[in-house]
């Protein structure tokens, strides 16, 4: 669905990307290609130099201004407020996001939430009117070898729901290399992405294996298929219809990945960060329970990941290629 002309008129302006990780850095770098758009990147760690390496390309420094503190944002009566905010943090970092969303400069901005899981509007409800929130599904792969260094590793897209907000974001990205697709059946797209994360993130993190091994090992394919079957039953209660062959297609896709592709949750475990299992397998379990559906594989994944989450594992020497 092409963006409407009225959406295009709202696309220009100032954009804040909250979260300077792999996906946030990728989105900021690509949006910086848009003429007449100022891109600001909110970072937790000091970044002396922000570089982005496009897929198959060489490192470059995008025209992105890095901010460390919300007080650096300005708005009326000073420079214009923000037109767009993209939230690209981990799902559990709501408090950190709130520091930025509460600033006057953000008051009129449309907020695109590029996070895993479901319930994007509910997650940000303490800070943003749900009517200004646009949930987004990101399938790009990216790595962050160090603070301020982002590498694009797998091609993908950003999917947003049909409507003024989604079409406006597609218009913002239209002059850039950021591929944004407006989706009519967003519920199905959202639960399909959740199924990918349920299998790819959960199994790779528990087994400490590259994502491709999930598709190559028969025993892991069986577990992956069982997880997708549970996700399909739960998704149906949310008016989402997952394809009957989703598990087979997903696992074949994983099997074709390079052995350097590791899931974002695996990377979090290696870095000693909290895991996002509550927003992925935990979400499946909660909805299943509310509809009296058995989801033993999702429950087991949640329990195992909860056990692993506080454990600080040693850093790995494997190059970090994020599967989100």
Cite the active site residues: 193
Give the Cα separation of 297 and 295 in Å (integer).
6
Give the Cα separation of 17 and 14 in Å (integer).
10
How many residues are recorded in the chain? 324
Side-chain half-sphere exposure of 196, counting CA atoms within 13 A? 22
Give the Cα separation of 153 and 156 in Å (integer).
10
Give the Cα separation of 150 and 313 in Å (integer).
23
- Contact 88/23 with Cβ under 8 angstroms? yes
Separation in Å, CA 226 to CA 55, 108, 216: 33, 44, 16
Beta bridge partners of 114: 136
Separation in Å, CA 249 to CA 224, 228, 246, 256: 11, 11, 5, 11
């Amino acid at each position: 669905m092409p963006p409407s002309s009225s959406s295009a008129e709202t696309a220009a302006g100032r954009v804040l990307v909250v979260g300077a990780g792999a996906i946030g850095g990728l989105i900021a770098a690509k949006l910086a290609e848009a003429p007449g758009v100022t891109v600001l990147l909110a970072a937790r760690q000091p970044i002396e130099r922000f570089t982005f390496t496009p897929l198959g390309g060489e490192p470059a420094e995008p025209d992105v201004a890095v901010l460390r503190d919300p007080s650096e944002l300005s708005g009326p009566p000073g420079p214009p407020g923000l037109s767009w905010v993209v939230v690209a943090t981990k799902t559990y970092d709501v408090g950190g996001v709130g520091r930025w969303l509460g600033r006057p400069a953000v008051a009129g901005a449309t907020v695109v939430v590029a996070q895993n899981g479901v319930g994007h509007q509910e997650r940000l409800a303490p800070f943003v009117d749900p009517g200004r929130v646009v949930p987004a599904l990101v399938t790009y792969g990216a790595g962050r070898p160090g603070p301020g260094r982002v590498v694009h590793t797998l091609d993908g897209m950003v999917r947003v729901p049909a409507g003024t907000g989604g079409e406006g974001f597609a218009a913002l990205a239209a002059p850039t290399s950021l591929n944004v697709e407006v989706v009519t059946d967003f519920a199905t797209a959202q639960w399909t992405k959740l199924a990918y994360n349920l299998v790819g993130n959960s199994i790779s993190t528990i087994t400490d294996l590259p994502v491709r091994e999930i598709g190559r090992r028969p025993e892991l394919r069986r577990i992956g298929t069982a997880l997708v079957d549970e996700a399909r039953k739960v998704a149906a209660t949310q008016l989402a219809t997952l394809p009957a062959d989703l598990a087979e297609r997903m696992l074949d896709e994983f099997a074709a990945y390079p052995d350097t592709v590791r899931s974002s949750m695996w990377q979090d475990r290696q870095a000693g960060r909290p895991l996002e299992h509550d927003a992925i397998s935990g979400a499946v379990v909660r909805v299943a329970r509310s509809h009296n559906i058995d989801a033993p594989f999702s429950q087991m994944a949640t329990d195992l990941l909860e056990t692993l989450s506080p454990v600080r594992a040693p850093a790995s020497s494997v190059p970090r290629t994020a599967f989100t």
